[in-house]
Structure formats: structure tokens, C-alpha cells
A and B are shown apart, each in its own frame.
Chain A
Amino acid sequence: EVQLVESGGGLVQPGGSLRLSCSASGFTFSSYVMHWVRQAPGKGLEFVSAISTNGGSTYYADSVKGRFTISRDNSKNTLYLQMSSLRAEDTAVYYCVRATSRSAFDIWGQGTMVTVSS
């Protein structure tokens, strides 16, 4: 079964750091561009970051640029999002997402909740 499972969410204080992980199974992870998308409570979806198949190219939303770092380990079938200098507005469910060759987001994880609060 094709599956993405996120982990690493939790409660963190403003200014703190957190690393999210996304474990992929059921498909050739190294062949797919991967993304992070977030959704603040009661709000819409927001693109966060993307990474190419070999990790050589990365992309970020302006709202997280310079604070978040996306990476992947194809030998471990795992995607990461290192988040630092966290703010209250980063509070959201974070989804790991696979993109097809047509850039369609066809597989989504169940999401992991990040809460930034003192």
C-alpha cells in the first residue's frame, strides 16, 4: 500500500525548533518530488516547501524561507522538515505530500500537528 506517515509534531515554544519526518512506503520514494503543505486551524491549505528527487533543488513559501529547511534521505525513504525560529502563526497541521510527474498531489499523509505556544 502506498503510504506516507508523518511524525515529530508537538507543542513548542515561540522561537523554538522542531523536526518533522515523513516515512514513505509502497512506492519508489527516490523517483518523486515531495512537498510539505500546512493548514492552520480552521483555515485553508498553504504550500510550505518542496524538494526534487535527488534533493538538489528546494523551494519554500516566503512565509518560511530562512527558517525552515526541507531535506530527504532516499536510502531511508524519509522526508524531513527542520523548523526553527517558530512563531505562533506556524501552528498548523503539516502534511507530507507526493507529487506525480504532472505535479499533481496524489498521495497525502495523515498530517502531524504543530502547536507553537508559550
Chain B
Amino acid sequence: AQKITQTQPGMFVQEKEAVTLDCTYDTSDPSYGLFWYKQPSSGEMIFLIYQGSYDQQNATEGRYSLNFQKARKSANLVISASQLGDSAMYFCAMREGRGRLTGGGNKLTFGTGTQLKVEL
């Protein structure tokens, strides 16, 4: 089974509108973390937001928020007030466990990504 599933290969959104990028995950580890990364056409990986499995509140970072629904195993990224510069590939990723025995939290499993295009 896929550990991280992103079902939207491509999305379009109009400038200034909000958009939700879907991510579902699968793990039996009670301790895990979920990340969203942005990859613009220049190729670098840019960290956006993080949600820990024990965090009580949904994470927010500026215009980015993570809609974390633990029972449904979903961690959707919400971008408010889209800008042209938000056009990029977006990856959801999961870290399972923590500490040296599980790879020090340095083992991320990535989804296949969602290509977001912001239009005028």
C-alpha cells in the first residue's frame, strides 16, 4: 500500500483564491510527522509546514495551513490567497518514528506530488 497518496496530479486556482491540496497517509506507527514541501521550476525543495502526530492543533505558517484529520489519515495543505509565485509542484511527505533506531527521523516517504498552477 502507498504510504503517502496525493491523488491530484494537477490543480488550477485563480489568483487570490484559496486552494486545498490533498494528502492521505498510511502508517501503524503512533509517532510520525507530516511535511509539505514546495518545488518550483528551479528545482529546489522548500519546506512549508509540519504537523506532528501528537500535535493537538492544526499547523499554520503564514498563508499555509495543514488540515490534519488523524482518524481519516489525511493531511491536506491549504494555501490561502494564492499568488502567481505559488505555481509549483507540492509534495506531501511522512516521517515515521523518531530517534536513531528508526533512522533519526531522517527517512521521509514522499507522495508523487501535485502540480499547482495559479492563474490571473
A and B together in one complex: no
Please list the residues of chain B having a beta carbon within 8 angstroms of any beta carbon in chain A.
none
Residues of A at the B interface (CB closer than 8 Å) are none
